[in-house]
C-alpha cells in the first residue's frame, strides 16, 4: 500500500512532476487521449479536455463555493487564462476531478468550453487527501468541513490523529480540536459553518454535556453576542455537578440556631450534625465583610 502521507509535501510536488517522491505516489497514467481531448506541449498526461467530460470529486470536502470568489477567479481566467491545470483521474469514461473543482466552476462562469487537465492515477484515499490539502493551502474550508474531512481521511486510511495531522502539515492538537466539532449537534455545526460563532465558541460549547442546555447557550451567544470567555464561564458553571440535596429533615434545635446565627452575623451560616460532632460554616464575601463578621463574634 502506498504511503499517501507523503502528499503532505504539497501540491507543488503533485503538479510539478519534478519530485521523485510525488511521482512514486501519483504515478502518471498511460492515457489514450479521446478525440475530444488533445495533448498539450507533447506531454501525454497533460490534455485539453471538454468541460463536459469533467465531473466533481466525490470526496471533495468543500460543500459551499463562494459565488463572488468564483466570479473573481473567472475574470482572472478570462484575462490571463488558466495558469494551473485541473488534476483529474479517469473513471467510468469521465474525468473525475482530484484537485481543481473551484477552477472548473470558474471556467464555466468564464464561458470556456475546454480546459487544461493533468491526468493522474489516484485512489479514493488520495483523492480526499489531495482535495483537503488543496483547500487548506489555497482557500480555507470552514471548520465543520475540515472536521468532516479529517474524520473521513482517518477512517479511509485507518490513521491516528497524529498521522492525519502529519499528512496535511498541521499540529496534532489542531486536528484533535477540529475532530471534536463532529460531536456537536447539527444546529451548532451549522452556526460554526456559516461563521455565526467561532471555533472558540464551539470548543466552549463542547464542555456542556446536556443537549438542551447547549442549544440554550448557543441561542444566548447569537442573541447577546457573547464573547468566547463569557461562554467558557457559563459552560463551566453548567458543567459543575449538581450540589447534594439538603437532608429532608433537620434537627429543629439546630435549624433554629442556624437561623439565629445567620441573623446575628448578617451572613449565611450552616450547621451540619455528624454523629456526636458536626461542622459550623460561616460564609463571607469580601475582606470588609469578613472583618464585620469577626467584630460581631467579638474577635477584633
One-character DSSP codes across 256-293: HHHHHHHHHHTS-EEEEEETTEEEEEE---SHHHHHHH
In CATH, what number is assigned to the domain containing residue 46? 3.90.1530.10
Both 132 and 12 in one domain: the answer is yes
Residue 293: the pLDDT is: 80
Q: Is 46 in a helix, a strand, or coil? A: strand
Q: Is residue 146 one of the residues assigned to a domain?
A: no
Question: What pLDDT is stored for residue 201 in this prediction?
Answer: 92
Nearest to 15 by CA among 100, 131, 118: 118
pTM to 2 decimal places: 0.51
Lowest mean pLDDT segment, chosen from 27-31, 72-76, 255-259: 27-31
Strand, coil or helix: 242: coil
Range of the domain at 277: 252-296
Confidence of residue 1 (pLDDT cuts 50, 70, 90): very low
The strand order across the sheet containing 54-55 reads 38-40, 43-50, 114-119, 86-91, 94-99, 54-55
The C-alpha cell at 102 is: 473551484
Pair 21, 128 in one domain:
yes
Number of compact structural domains in the chain: 3
- pLDDT attached to residue 269: 85
C-alpha cell at 204: 466552549
The verdict on 13 and 106 lying in the same domain is yes
Pairing of strands 277-282, 43-50: unpaired
- DSSP string covering 89-153: EEETTEEEEEE-HHHHHHHHHTT-SEEEEEEB---HHHHHHHHHHHHHHSSPPPHHHHHHHHHHH
Q: Which residue has the higher pLDDT, 247 or 75?
A: 75
The active-site residue out of 53, 101, 134, 145 is: 101
pLDDT (tens digit, 9 = 90+) per residue, 158-213? Answer: 888 888 888 777 889 988 988 999 988 888 999 998 889 998 999 899 888 888 88
Q: Is the pLDDT at 227 greater than 50, yes or no?
A: yes
- Residue 148: inside a domain: no
User: Quick one: which H or E segment has residue 47?
Assistant: strand 43-50
What share of the chain has pLDDT > 90, as a percent? 13
Domain-embedded: residue 124: yes
Angstrom distance (rounded) from CA 290 to CA 285: 7
Q: Indicate whether 98 and 206 sit together in one domain.
A: no
Q: Are residues 65 and 126 in the same domain?
A: yes
* pLDDT class of 61 with cuts at 50, 70, 90: low
Write out the DSSP string of 157-222. HT--HHHHHHHHT--HHHHHHHHHGGGS-HHHHHHHHTTSS-HHHHHHHTT---HHHHHHHHHHHH
Q: For residue range 2-54, what is the model confidence (pLDDT) as tens digits?
A: 344 333 333 333 333 322 322 332 333 333 333 334 444 445 588 899 999 99
Q: Are both 207 and 125 inside the same structural domain? A: no
What is the average per-residue pLDDT within 145-161? 84
The answer to whether residue 158 is domain-embedded is no
Chain mean pLDDT for the chain: 76
| Whether residue 75 is found in the same domain as residue 104 | yes
Mean pLDDT value across residues 254-262: 82
The residue out of 118, 138, 158 marking a domain boundary is 138
pLDDT of res. 15: 34
15 with 129, same domain? yes
Strand bridging mode 86-91 / 114-119: parallel
Q: Which tens digit of pLDDT belongs to each residue from 108-133?
A: 999 999 999 988 887 777 777 776 67
Same domain for 116 and 13: yes
Annotation marks residue 48 as catalytic:
no
pLDDT at 16: 35
What is residue 138's predicted lDDT score, i.e. its pLDDT? 55
Which residues, at least 6 apart from 18, have a Cβ–Cβ distance to it below 8 Å? Answer: none
Nearest to 86 by CA among 56, 62, 61: 56
Asked whether residue 221 is assigned to any structural domain, the reply reads: yes
Instruction: Report the C-alpha gap between 178 and 162 in whole angstroms.
Output: 13
Tell me, yes or no, whether 103 lies in a domain: yes
- Residue pair 251/262 in contact by the 8 Å Cβ criterion: no
Amino acid at each position: 500500500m502506498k504511503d499517501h502521507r507523503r502528499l503532505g509535501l504539497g501540491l507543488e510536488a503533485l503538479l510539478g512532476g519534478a519530485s521523485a517522491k510525488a511521482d512514486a505516489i501519483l504515478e502518471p497514467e498511460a492515457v489514450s487521449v479521446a478525440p475530444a481531448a488533445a495533448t498539450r506541449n507533447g506531454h501525454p498526461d497533460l490534455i485539453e479536455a471538454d468541460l463536459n467530460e469533467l465531473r466533481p470529486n466525490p470526496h471533495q470536502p468543500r460543500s459551499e463555493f463562494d459565488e463572488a470568489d468564483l466570479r473573481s477567479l473567472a475574470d482572472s481566467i478570462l484575462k490571463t487564462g488558466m495558469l494551473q491545470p485541473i488534476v483529474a483521474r479517469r473513471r467510468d469514461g469521465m474525468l473525475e476531478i482530484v484537485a481543481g473543482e473551484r477552477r472548473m466552476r470558474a471556467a464555466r462562469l468564464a464561458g470556456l468550453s475546454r480546459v487544461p487537465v493533468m491526468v493522474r492515477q489516484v485512489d479514493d484515499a488520495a483523492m480526499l487527501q489531495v482535495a483537503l490539502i488543496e483547500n487548506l493551502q489555497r482557500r480555507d474550508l470552514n471548520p465543520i468541513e475540515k472536521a468532516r474531512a479529517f474524520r473521513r481521511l482517518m477512517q479511509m486510511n485507518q490513521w491516528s490523529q497524529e498521522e492525519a495531522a502529519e499528512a496535511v502539515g498541521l499540529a496534532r492538537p489542531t486536528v484533535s480540536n477540529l475532530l471534536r466539532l463532529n460531536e456537536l449537534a447539527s444546529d451548532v455545526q451549522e452556526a460554526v459553518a456559516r461563521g455565526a460563532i467561532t471555533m472558540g465558541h464551539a470548543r466552549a460549547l463542547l464542555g456542556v454535556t446536556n443537549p438542551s442546555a447547549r442549544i440554550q447557550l448557543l441561542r444566548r451567544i447569537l442573541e447577546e453576542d457573547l464573547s468566547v470567555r463569557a461562554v467558557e464561564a457559563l459552560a463551566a458553571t453548567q458543567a459543575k455537578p449538581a450540589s447534594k440535596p439538603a437532608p429532608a429533615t433537620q434537627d429543629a434545635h439546630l435549624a433554629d440556631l442556624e437561623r439565629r446565627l445567620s441573623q446575628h452575623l448578617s451572613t449565611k451560616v450552616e450547621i451540619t450534625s455528624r454523629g456526636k460532632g458536626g461542622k459550623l460554616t460561616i460564609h463571607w464575601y469580601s475582606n470588609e465583610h469578613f472583618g464585620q463578621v469577626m467584630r460581631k463574634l467579638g474577635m477584633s
